[in-house]
Amino acid sequence: MTFRHERLPNGLEIVAEVTDDALSTSVGFFVRTGARDETDATWGVSHFLEHMVFKGTDHLSADEINRRFDWMGASANAFTNEEDTVYHAAVLPAQQHEATALLAEMMRPALRSEDFATEKLVILEEIRMYDDQPPFGADERCRAAFFGAHPLGRSVLGTVESIEALPVEAMRDYHRRRYAPGNIVLAATGAVDFPALVETARRHCGDWASLTDDAPRPVAAPRRGLERSLFETIVRPAATLAYGVRMSPGPAGDDTDRFAAKLLATVLGDDSGSRLYWALVDPGTAEQASCHHQDFRDAGLFTTQLACDAADAEDLLGQVTEIYAAAAPAGITTFELDQARNKLAGRVVLVGERPRRRLFSVGLEWARSGQYRSVADDLTIVEGLSLDDLHRVLSHWPLDGAGATVLAGPGTAGDGPDPVNPSVPAADDTQ
């Protein structure tokens, strides 16, 4: 595996992790834009634009794009989150140029009014689809409660109202500002012919005008979260189970403790073999009880997800908090550390051998930090984590501290569980 990097004069960065004997090639355009770059007036535009990119350019129809991807046997798709919009394709190596060139062309979409009107209907269906599914909006409501007025509290899809109100002109303006070449990374993994990749990028992206986004810089996210715990409920009479989501502050994407935070979340709340698993899932008490760590550029959080009978929900949320509260004083055991390290190392290796999975690790990391970490680097980090690291994270970021909790279910109500430790300081940038 070798890492390659190149930058075009207009600012577009090209990175690749080259594995000569890989069977496939994955390519993707990683645009540094997402829900946190939106305003009330453009809420949902990043994700809507991601759909519109597949509707064609001045020279290409949507049907042609779909046919060309299928013709090259590509597995192509896109996603949008709070900070990134990613367009990707996995192909056999012989199709590298074709896939890259097509994606590159798509980055300059026509954004036709009639396509915008039709695709708006699809977006509204997507919003309804997710709203009908667990956790029935509890995750988005929880993030809104956790981040308050900060743009990271915005749902990626937007709302029915914000999408219905969005004019096509606002999307064209957003695209012009946010899809400037200096704000995009072209990444590739697998059997990559790097000189050919750079040549394709020169030919298809070299004339993109470099623009400076004159919009104000995004506001820094709150690092320590909430002054006091918040609890909200969503009532869905048709729901069978109740779904709880709890968020509390954790290390941010620029904090080296983010790796220890992920290992800690594995010990406490991995899908199997964790403290939450043995206490709540193995006995059949909860359908799901898990915890993971998520980081943004300047904020991080621990997210706990619970699914259980509605009658048990508040009691079990309380039990989860007690499990977290017990972790710091008693400490994590060496056995738990070893188990979690072995699990994470196994996952790193399994993800590492699939170019289409590596693409996201390589592309997202470069888009965020301008850094590259190989599979070996990741393994070294996992193996180097110690009990001290875990205990430091536990003491800085108590998972039982002030957090936001939202419970959605068939008529759940109440004030929520008693917070065990409601008085975590709320100051920003305390790291």
Partner 1 sequence: MTVGTTGDGRQLGEGRPTLKQQLFSTTLDNGIVVLGERLAGLESAAIAFHLPAGAFYDGTGRCGLATLAGEMMLRGAGARTSREVIESLEGAGVQWAHSVSTSHSSFAGAMVARQLIPALPIYADIVRRPRLPADELEPARQMVLRNLAGTEDDPAHRAMASLRQLHYPSPWGMPAEGISADVADLGIGEVREFVARRVIPTGTIIAVAGRIDWPEVVDRIAALFGDWTSAGDAPVATGPRGPRVRHVPHDSQQTHIALGWSAPPYASDDSYEASAALAILGGGSSSRLFTEVRERRGLCYSVSAGYHTLRDHAMAVCYSGTSAARAQETLDVMLAEIERLPGTLEPAELERVKARAKSALVMQQESSAARAGDIARRWYHLQSMRSLAEELERYDQLSVASIERWLAAHLPAGLSVVSLGREPLEVPDDIQA
- Which of the residues 26 through 85 are near partner 1 (CB under 8 A)? 54, 62-63, 66-67, 69-76
Least CB distance to partner 1 at residue 317 (A): 16
> Rule CB under 8 A: is residue 128 a binding residue for partner 1?
yes
Least CB distance to partner 1 at residue 376 (A): 11
Binds partner 1 by CB under 8 A, chosen from 6, 11, 81, 131 = 131
Decide whether 12 or 267 has the Cβ nearer to partner 1.
Answer: 267
Q: How far apart are CA 431 and CA 417, in angstroms?
A: 29
Say if residue 214 is exposed, middle or buried (CB neighbours under 10 Å; 0-12, 13-18, 19+): exposed
What is Dmax (Cα atoms) for the chain? 64
Q: Which amino acid is at 312?
A: D
Decide whether 8 or 245 has the Cβ nearer to partner 1.
Answer: 245
Q: How far apart are CA 40 and CA 402, in angstroms?
A: 27
> Rule CB under 8 A: is residue 241 a binding residue for partner 1?
yes
Decide whether 121 or 427 has the Cβ nearer to partner 1.
Answer: 121
Decide whether 205 or 313 has the Cβ nearer to partner 1.
Answer: 313
Binds partner 1 by CB under 8 A, chosen from 149, 209, 238, 330 = 238
What are phi and psi for residue 29, nearest 5 degrees?
Answer: -100, 120
Q: How far apart are CA 240 and CA 235, in angstroms?
A: 11
> Rule CB under 8 A: is residue 24 a binding residue for partner 1?
yes
Structure tokens at 208: 């993109």
Structure tokens at 161: 């109202």
Q: Which of residues 298-357 bind partner 1 (CB under 8 A)?
A: 307-309, 338-339, 342-343, 345-347, 349-350, 352-356
Residues binding partner 1: number (CB under 8 A): 71
Q: Which of residues 370-399 bind partner 1 (CB under 8 A)?
A: none
Name the 3-class secondary structure at 174: helix
Using CB under 8 A, which of the segments 19-27, 209-217, 254-262, 420-428 binds partner 1? 19-27
DSSP per residue over 323-350, as a string? HHHHHHHH---HHHHHHHHHHHHHHHHH
Name the 3-class secondary structure at 303: strand
Least CB distance to partner 1 at residue 48 (A): 13
**3-class DSSP string for 266-302:** HHHHCCCCCHHHHHHHCCCCEEEEEEEEEECCCCEEE
Least CB distance to partner 1 at residue 191 (A): 7
294 pairs with which residues across the strands? 301
Decide whether 157 or 390 has the Cβ nearer to partner 1.
Answer: 157
For the chain, give the number of residues: 431
Decide whether 120 or 391 has the Cβ nearer to partner 1.
Answer: 120
Least CB distance to partner 1 at residue 78 (A): 11
Least CB distance to partner 1 at residue 135 (A): 9
Q: With contact defined as beta carbons under 8 Å apart, do 259 and 383 qualify?
A: no
Least CB distance to partner 1 at residue 286 (A): 7
> Rule CB under 8 A: is residue 359 a binding residue for partner 1?
no
> Rule CB under 8 A: is residue 220 a binding residue for partner 1?
no
Least CB distance to partner 1 at residue 166 (A): 15
Buried b vs exposed e over 198-212: b needs ≥16 C-beta within 10 Å?
Answer: bebbeebbeebeebe
90 pairs with which residues across the strands? 26, 75
Rounded to 10°, the helix 62-71/96-106 angle is 160
Binds partner 1 by CB under 8 A, chosen from 113, 210, 240, 430 = 240
Establish how many alpha carbons lie within 13 A of residue 391's alpha carbon, considering only the half-sphere containing its beta carbon: 10
Decide whether 120 or 396 has the Cβ nearer to partner 1.
Answer: 120
Least CB distance to partner 1 at residue 15 (A): 20
Binds partner 1 by CB under 8 A, chosen from 191, 267, 316, 323 = 191
